[in-house]
Structure 1
Amino acid sequence: MSRWPYVFFAAACFYIMIGVCWGMYMGISHDHATSPGHAHLNLLGFVSLSIMGGFYALLGKETPTWIVGANFGLMNLGVCLLAPALFLLLSQRVEPAQVVPVFMIGEVSILLGFLAFGAAVIGGLRRTGRAKAGSLKVAIA
């Protein structure tokens, strides 16, 4: 098996550790103003990367490495930009105009990461369809 699933799961573990600490901080401080950022970190960083890692481990084994690498890089860039920007904005530590460029890059990166994942899923579906069609021809002959 490729190392890529492990890389996705390692990144997901890193993000959930940060997310749990962030949640503990909110609970201790009774300040939940940054909870949308906390939720984005957990959903995009932990849940999405875990699902992607599971896909590549189970079904995406024949996905071209460049698609998997692009998926990983784009998602991580987006999470690393978006979560801190949300924290800074929601905690009112910066003016909105100061983080708009960071949001734009992070959001586009996340979108492109999901497009790369979609390409991997569709590519796997097409490969599976071709394999079944080939086995059907052999069975008929």
Structure 2
Amino acid sequence: MSRWPYVFFAAACFYIMVGVCWGMYMGISHDTATAPGHAHLNLLGFVSLSIMGGFYALLGKETPNWLVTTNFALMNLGVCLLAPSLFLLLSQRVEVGKLVPFFMVGEFSILFGFLAFGAAVILGLRRAGGLSGLRFGFAAA
């Protein structure tokens, strides 16, 4: 088995640990102003990378290494830029104008990371024979 699923899961574990600490901080301080950033970290960092790692472990074994590497790099760049930027913005520690470049790079990195993952899924679907031969419940028998 490729090492990539483990790499995705390791990153996901890191992000959920940071997310749990962030959540504990919000609970202890009774300050939930940064909750949207916390949610983005958990969903993009933990949930998305876990799903991607599961895909590469079960179905994406034949995905080209460059595509998996690109997927991983883009997603992590995006999470590492977006989550701290949201924290700084929502906690009003930095004005929005100074964070715009970080948001732009982070958001587009996440977008292209999801596009890379979609390309991996489509490549896997094509290798598996595409949609031909599939029967849907609403199709005539």
TM-score (norm 1): 0.92
Q: Matches of 1:119 and 1:71 in 2, distance apart? A: 10
- 1:84-95 alignment, distance < 5 Å: 84-95=84-95
Alignment-derived partner of residue 77 in structure 1: 77
Q: Matches of 1:73 and 1:96 in 2, distance apart? A: 26
Q: Matches of 2:117 and 2:29 in 1, distance apart? A: 37
Q: Once the two structures are superposed, what CA deviation does each residue of 1:49-101 show, in whole Å capped at 9, x if it has no partner?
A: 00000000000000000000000000000000000000000000000001011
RMSD value over aligned CA atoms? 1.1
Identity %: 83
1:6 correspondence with 2:6? yes
Q: Once the two structures are superposed, what CA deviation does each residue of 1:84-136 show, in whole Å capped at 9, x if it has no partner?
A: 00000000000000101100000000000000000000000000007x98xxx
Alignment-derived partner of residue 137 in structure 1: none
Alignment-derived partner of residue 26 in structure 1: 26
Q: Matches of 1:75 and 1:96 in 2, distance apart? A: 23
- 1:1-141 alignment, distance < 5 Å: 1-129=1-129
Q: Please report how far the alpha carbon of residue 16 of structure 1 lies from its aligned counterpart in structure 2 after TM superposition.
A: 0.1
Residue identity opposite 1:66 in structure 2 = W
Q: Please report how far the alpha carbon of residue 6 of structure 1 lies from its aligned counterpart in structure 2 after TM superposition.
A: 0.1
Consecutive unaligned residues in structure 2, runs of 5 or more: 134-141
Residue identity opposite 2:124 in structure 1 = G
Q: Moved runs in structure 1, 4+ residues, more than 2 A?
A: none
Deviates more, 1:65-74 or 1:121-130: 121-130
TM-score (norm 2): 0.92
Consecutive unaligned residues in structure 1, runs of 5 or more: 134-141
Q: Matches of 1:94 and 1:61 in 2, distance apart? A: 43
Q: Counting helix residues as a fraction of each chain, which structure ranks higher? A: 1
